[in-house]
């Protein structure tokens, strides 16, 4: 027995030795630059300025040197920076040049800070099992930057929570919550930043918080215990400093930094960075399907996303779960290859033939999905969380309560001040040399503390978004009569209570709340404004209760800062109205108000009359405004929105002059871009004659051709976006347009396009299969970029932007990190359009009268 055990031990040690050797050999595979211009090997990608820093929003955590580690982007922001833990609005380098040298395995980026005439070059070269990162200077550091300029590489906190690190062999834990030491530094020592960044905090102190490093050393190993996240960093020239950026902002990352030396040129800093690669690693397949489920009669397809090194299996299986918990195979069918999209390969599994109502799940190899439903009523309640919860929570100027929770108090009761002239705001708003109103800079505009929604995860009012939301809500009301009452709204006390019926239709209450602020703008300012937003950066990145962002007391210049007489205060925290006028916003607002006047008739007759009055006012002022929009963007949208306004005014008034304006403009709009004009053209059909429909028919055919093209562009068959914001809004609007087209021209456009848009939204999309609508579907977004994002939470019914495609080929939507607004920020426009789309898809299945159940 002992002899047999000894022999077995020798055999096992030989096998283990062979495996260790093979692992060492495979993990030692070098990084190579691929055809897409970044370093790659199985399990590791290193991108070098494939994406640049955003000049408008500064550091979006999507630029510089980035690491995609075993399928997850875990590091970003590798660049020369001027702060140990840069915040979003701190200075960013401009990319001057980028060179890819395939022959020598190197990528070089030239960076500059024009504010200091400071140029650097960062070169990344494949070396051993990782890369060498070197910083070169042609001139010594500017004296002002000595001790401030350093090379930073930022690591995603969520990827390293509950993990350890080693610095020169000394162990430490990555903190779940920031708790490291900080110190104070006077303002005169701080590097000047963006002009819009106030140099004082909200109490006027002239000091700044400076974090101290968690650890320092020459060799750092992140997550030594986790092969998927282990990264070795070794510096030959300077100390490695490990910081926790969350001490300054909840959206901060873990940062590795080395200071650049003063008085030196040439190669001044060198790191060796080695992300561990698991031998033979392949990304697990992702089975994309609708988390909400399917109606029996609709097309049902799952899209399976595969690592490009993976070998597709021949088939997938659909199982039904019975009442007693048995799993019954209902369909085993071959997969249909779609091909390559971005960095992954795709297979399609069609299970449309299964129509029996029940609970199901999909299986591909050893990958098994969670359960979903097949049922005629799967879409009936999908819009309820959005109207019941998300919209009430966004209601500005009101206290909003839900059971035991107060979402926020009555906010911005000190609205609003005229924004000053010749001012560039940090959130993209701006004012030129004139206010274009009767008000002087920083003069109080009366009557503005009423109505409106927080636009998104911040607390500004954006009029364009309001127009989009109001038009969608009116359409949902007029076409589908969404007769739901789950919200109590009381304006005299500025109080909203969720889940408390008050005998009034919620959708009409939300339409009223949106247009109250729009009417106030036209009445008190003279025209709609682009936005109303806080003036100070320390207010802008406020999280939590919106009522705490100002003191809710109108600004009084006769009082000192933080002094109050009980009715006003000397604190300049009131929101500013940015009042530069644009024709396209005039027309957009006219369209929304004209539509709202119909919906509000019989609900709030006084407001309905005001809506139509101010819609006419804006329309009639067209001639005096016709020369003020000069940009191509404004000109294009002005023409399209004039047509939209003409249609809404025609439907409301039945005046032929508006009908003539619409008919003259719609064909030009369709000829310019059939996608932009099609929804408006189709909405007009019930109010036009047969000749109009006949003329529209070929345009609908063209629109169908464009829509069919999406199925050749990507495996999901929807108009995915490739910019700095996820594409869900465009997909929702496209699906709504497809519904209009199907309703008016069913022989051209089938209902399948509408379902395809919803399937994508609910989980049949890249990267994961999570529903992009919080609290809708079996698995849905639980972490979003709302005003409660610091709590890693969500507001039920919010629809996120979705997949962000990071250049050149990486689709991403983080569910463990809420602070990517391009992926996770919920806005009023998409949520209102989602309600409309949900009602439309219910009408397809159950008939128009059943959409309001």
Q: What is the pLDDT of residues 727-754, one digit of tens each?
A: 999 999 999 999 999 999 999 999 999 9
236 and 311 belong to one structural domain: no
Number of domains in the chain: 2
Read off the pLDDT of each residue in 575-580 and give the average, rounded to a whole number.
Answer: 97
Place of tokens 């939507």: 813
Q: What is the pLDDT of residue 1?
A: 37
* Residue 395 contacts residue 447 (beta carbons within 8 Å): no
CATH of the domain at 368: 2.60.40.10
Strand partners, 75: 67, 155
Helix, strand, or coil (residue 780): strand
Contact in structure between 345 and 312 (CB atoms under 8 Å): yes
Give pLDDT, residue 10: 33
Note whether residue 655 is domain-resident.
no
> Are residues 218 and 224 in contact, defined by beta-carbon separation less than 8 angstroms?
no
Q: Average pLDDT for residues 456-469, to the nearest whole number?
A: 96
CA distances from 839 to 74, 151, 595, 830, 836 (A): 39, 52, 18, 14, 5
Residue 24: helix, strand or coil by DSSP? Answer: helix
216 inside domain: yes
Whether residue 406 is contained in a domain is answered as no
Q: What pLDDT score does 202 carry?
A: 47
Q: Which residue has the tokens 């392949």?
A: 282
How far apart are alpha carbons 244 and 234 in whole angstroms?
A: 19
In the chain, pLDDT over 90 holds for what percent of residues? 87
| Residue 39 in domain | yes
39 shares a domain with 118: yes
Considering the entire predicted model, what is its pTM? 0.94
**CA-wise closest residue to 151 among 53, 262, 258, 303:** 258
Contact 845, 480 (CB under 8 A): no
> Are 594 and 650 in contact, with CB atoms under 8 Å apart?
no
For residue 386, give the 3-state DSSP assignment: helix
Are residues 108 and 228 located together in one domain of the fold?
Answer: yes
At residue 23, does pLDDT exceed 70? no
Top-confidence residue, 852 or 393: 393
Structure tokens at 356: 């029996």
Structure tokens at 614: 């101010």
- Taking only the tens place, the pLDDT of each residue in 249-259 is 999 999 999 99
363-368-373 Cα angle (round to 5): 80
Answer for the pair 362, 369: CB distance below 8 angstroms, yes or no. yes
pLDDT at 563 over 60: yes
Alpha carbons 504 and 303: distance in angstroms, whole number: 42
Calculate mean pLDDT across residues 197-207: 47
Radius of gyration of the CA atoms of the chain, in A: 29
**Same domain for 267 and 167:** yes
Q: By C-alpha distance, which of 180, 174, 64 is closest to 111?
A: 64
Last residue of a domain, one of 325, 340, 374: 374
DSSP strands (E only) in 420-513: 423-424, 430-431, 461-462, 487-490, 495-498
pLDDT band at residue 639 using 50, 70 and 90 as cut-offs: confident
The answer on 162 and 86 residing in a single domain is: yes
Residues 6+ apart with CB under 8 A from 62: 51, 54, 76, 724, 804, 806, 820, 822
Lowest mean pLDDT among 86-90, 237-241, 338-342, 778-782: 86-90
Evaluate whether 831 touches 469 at the Cβ level (below 8 Å).
yes
Q: Residues 234, 305: one domain?
A: no
pLDDT value at residue 184: 86
Cis peptide before 808 (omega within 30 of 0): yes
Kindly report the CATH number assigned to the domain that includes residue 258. Answer: 2.70.98
Q: Contact at 8 Å (CB) between 486 and 498?
A: yes
Alpha helices in 482-631 (DSSP H): 506-524, 537-540, 583-600, 605-620, 622-625
The predicted pLDDT at position 845 comes to 81
Residue 134 CB partners (closer than 8 Å, separation 6+): 122, 123, 124, 125, 267, 269, 270, 271
Confidence of residue 553 (pLDDT cuts 50, 70, 90): very high
Q: Which two tokens stand for residue 198?
A: 């106030």
For the stretch 399-429, pLDDT in tens is: 999 999 999 999 999 999 999 999 999 898 9
Q: Identify the pLDDT of residue 2.
A: 37
Q: Does the structure show a pLDDT above 60 at 543?
A: yes
CB 469 within 8 A of CB 449: no
Separation between Cα atoms, residue 473 and residue 475, nearest integer Å = 5
Distance between CA atoms of 539 and 389, rounded to whole angstroms?
A: 25
Listed residues 275, 309, 336: the one ending a domain: 275
How do residues 490-525 score in pLDDT, each as one tens digit?
999 999 999 999 999 999 999 999 999 999 999 999
Helices (H), 626-767: 632-653, 656-672, 674-683, 690-713, 728-744, 752-761
Mean of the per-residue pLDDT values of the chain: 92
Establish if 266 belongs to a structural domain: yes
Average pLDDT over residues 831-837: 98
Question: Mean per-residue pLDDT for 274-285?
Answer: 97
Decide if 827 is inside a domain: no
**Could you tell me if 300 and 344 lie in one domain?**
yes
pLDDT at 193: 55
Do residues 314 and 256 share a domain? no
Residue 73: the pLDDT is 98
Q: Which of 647, 640, 642, 637 is nearest to 595 (CA)?
A: 647
Q: By three-state DSSP, how is residue 588 classified?
A: helix
CA distance 612 to 652: 8
Name the CA dihedral angle for 835, 838, 844, 850, rounded to a multiple of 10 degrees.
-70
Closest CA to 299 of 831, 760, 700: 760
Domain final position from 374, 408, 439: 374
Query: From CA 283, how far away is CA 71, in angstroms rounded?
Result: 6
pLDDT at 221 over 70: yes
Does 812 reside within a domain? no
pLDDT at 203 over 80: no
Do both 156 and 293 map to the same domain? no
Kindly report the backbone phi and psi dihedral angles of residue 668, in degrees, each rounded to the nearest multiple of 5, phi listed first.
-65, -40
Could you give the CA distance from residue 557 to residue 562 in angstroms, rounded to a whole number?
11
Pair 84, 214 in one domain:
yes
Q: Are residues 237 and 358 in the same domain?
A: no
Query: Mutual orientation of helices 605-620 and 506-524 as an angle, nearest 10°?
Result: 50
pLDDT tens digits along 525-536: 999 999 999 999
User: Is it the case that residue 592 has pLDDT exceeding 70?
Assistant: yes
CA 311 to chain CA mean position, Å = 33
Average pLDDT, stretch 683-696?
98
Indicate if the pLDDT at residue 336 is higher than 70: yes
> Distance between terminal CA atoms of the chain?
74
Q: Are residues 270 and 293 in the same domain?
A: no
The answer to whether the beta carbons of residues 358 and 320 sit under 8 Å apart is yes
Helix or strand holding residue 824 (H, E) = helix 821-824
Tokens 């040690």 belong to 13
- Asked whether the beta carbons of 315 and 332 are under 8 A apart, the reply is yes
pLDDT at residue 9 above 60? no
Q: Which residue range forms the structural domain that includes residue 294?
A: 286-374
Contacts of 228 (CB under 8 A, 6+ apart): 69, 70, 276, 278
Q: What is the pLDDT of residue 55?
A: 72
DSSP annotation of 684 reads T
451-464 mean pLDDT: 96
Contact residues for 371 (Cβ-Cβ < 8 A; gap 6+):
321, 359, 360, 361, 778
What pLDDT does 22 receive? Answer: 37
In terms of Cα–Cα distance, which of 115, 117, 97, 116 is closest to 107?
97
Is 334 among the domain residues? yes
pLDDT of residue 614 exceeding 70, the answer is yes
Size (the chain), residues: 853
The percent of residues in the chain predicted with pLDDT above 70, rounded, is 92
pLDDT of residue 633: 53
Which residue matches tokens 């023409």?
A: 639
Residue (of 840, 837, 843, 836) closest to 475 by Cα position: 836
Between 126-130, 197-201, 660-664, the lowest mean confidence (pLDDT) is in 197-201
């Amino acid at each position: 027995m002992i002899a047999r055990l000894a022999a077995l031990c020798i055999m096992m040690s030989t096998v283990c030795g062979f495996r260790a050797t093979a692992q060492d050999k495979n993990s030692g595979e070098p990084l190579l630059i691929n055809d897409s211009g970044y370093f790659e090997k199985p399990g590791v990608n290193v991108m070098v300025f494939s994406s640049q820093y955003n000049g408008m929003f500064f550091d979006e955590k999507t630029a510089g040197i980035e690491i995609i580690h075993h399928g997850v982007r875990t590091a970003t922001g590798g660049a020369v920076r001027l702060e140990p833990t840069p915040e979003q609005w701190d200075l960013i380098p401009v990319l001057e040049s980028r060179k890819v040298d395939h022959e020598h395995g190197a990528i070089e980026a030239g960076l500059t800070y024009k504010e200091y005439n400071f140029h650097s070059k960062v070169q990344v070269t494949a070396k051993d099992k990782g890369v060498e990162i070197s910083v070169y200077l042609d001139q010594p550091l500017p004296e002002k930057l000595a001790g401030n300029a350093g090379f930073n590489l930022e690591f995603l906190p969520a990827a390293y929570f509950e993990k350890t690190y080693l610095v020169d062999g000394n162990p430490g834990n990555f903190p779940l919550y920031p708790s490291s030491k900080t110190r104070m530094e006077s303002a005169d020592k701080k590097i000047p930043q963006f002009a819009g960044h106030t140099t004082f905090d909200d109490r006027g102190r002239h000091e700044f918080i400076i974090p101290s490093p968690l650890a320092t050393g020459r060799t750092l190993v992140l997550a030594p215990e986790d092969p998927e996240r282990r990264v070795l960093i070794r510096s030959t020239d300077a100390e490695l400093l490990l910081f926790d950026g969350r001490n300054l902002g909840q959206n901060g990352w873990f940062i590795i930094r080395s200071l650049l030396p003063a008085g030196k040129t040439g190669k001044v800093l060198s790191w060796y960075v080695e992300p561990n690669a698991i031998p033979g690693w392949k990304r697990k397949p992702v089975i994309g399907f609708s988390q909400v489920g399917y109606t029996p009669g609709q097309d049902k397809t799952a899209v399976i996303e595969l690592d490009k090194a993976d070998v597709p299996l021949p088939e997938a299986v659909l199982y039904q779960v019975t009442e007693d918990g048995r799993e019954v195979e209902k369909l085993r069918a071959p997969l249909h290859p779609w091909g390559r999209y971005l960095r992954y390969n795709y297979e399609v599994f069609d299970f449309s033939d299964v129509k029996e109502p029940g609970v199901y799940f999909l299986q591909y190899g050893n990958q098994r999905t969670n359960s979903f439903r097949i049922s005629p009523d799967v879409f009936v309640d999908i819009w309820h969380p959005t109207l019941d919860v998300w919209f009430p929570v966004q209601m500005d100027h009101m206290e909003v309560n839900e059971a035991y929770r107060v979402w926020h108090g009555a906010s911005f009761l000190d609205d609003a001040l005229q924004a000053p002239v010749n001012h560039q705001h940090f959130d993209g708003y701006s004012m030129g040399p004139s206010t274009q109103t009767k008000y002087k800079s920083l003069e109080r505009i009366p009557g503005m503390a009423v109505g409106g929604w927080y636009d998104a995860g911040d607390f500004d009012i954006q009029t364009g978004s309001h127009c989009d939301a109001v038009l969608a809500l009116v359409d949902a009301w007029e076409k589908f009569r969404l007769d739901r009452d789950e919200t109590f709204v009381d304006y005299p006390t500025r109080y909203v209570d969720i889940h408390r019926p008050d005998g009034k239709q919620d959708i009409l209450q939300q339409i009223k709340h949106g247009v109250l602020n729009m009417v106030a703008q036209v009445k008190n300012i003279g025209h709609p404004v682009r936005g109303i937003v806080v003036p100070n950066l320390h207010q802008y990145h406020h999280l939590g209760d919106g009522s705490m962002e100002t003191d809710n007391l109108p600004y009084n210049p006769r009082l000192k800062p933080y002094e109050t007489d009980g009715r006003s205060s000397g604190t300049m925290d009131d929101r500013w109205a940015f009042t530069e006028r644009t024709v396209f916003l005039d027309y957009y607002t006219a369209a929304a108000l004209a539509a709202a006047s119909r919906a509000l008739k019989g609900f709030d007759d006084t407001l309905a009359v005001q809506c139509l009055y101010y819609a006419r006012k804006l329309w009639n002022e067209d001639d005096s405004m016709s020369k003020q929009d000069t940009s191509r963007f404004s000109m294009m949208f002005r023409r399209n929105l004039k047509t939209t306004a003409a249609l809404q005014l025609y439907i409301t008034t039945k005046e032929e002059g508006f009908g003539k304006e619409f008919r003259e403009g719609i064909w030009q709009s369709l000829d310019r871009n059939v996608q932009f004009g099609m929804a408006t053209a189709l909405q007009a059909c019930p109010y036009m004659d047969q000749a109009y429909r006949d003329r529209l028919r070929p345009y609908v055919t063209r629109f169908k051709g464009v829509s069919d093209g999406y199925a050749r562009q990507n495996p999901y068959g929807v108009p995915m976006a490739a910019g700095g914001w996820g594409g869900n809004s465009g997909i929702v609007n496209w699906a709504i347009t497809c519904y209009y087209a199907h309703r008016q021209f069913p022989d051209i456009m089938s209902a399948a396009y509408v379902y395809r848009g919803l399937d994508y939204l609910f989980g049949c999309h890249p990267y994961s299969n999570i529903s992009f609508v919080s609290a809708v579907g079996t698995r849905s977004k639980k972490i979003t970029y709302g005003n409660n994002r610091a709590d890693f939470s969500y507001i039920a019914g919010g629809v996120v932007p979705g997949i962000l495609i990071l250049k050149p080929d990486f689709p991403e939507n983080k569910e463990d990190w809420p602070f990517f607004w391009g992926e996770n920020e919920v806005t009023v426009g998409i949520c209102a359009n989602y309600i409309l789309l949900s009602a439309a898809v219910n009408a397809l299945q159950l008939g128009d009268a059943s959409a309001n159940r």
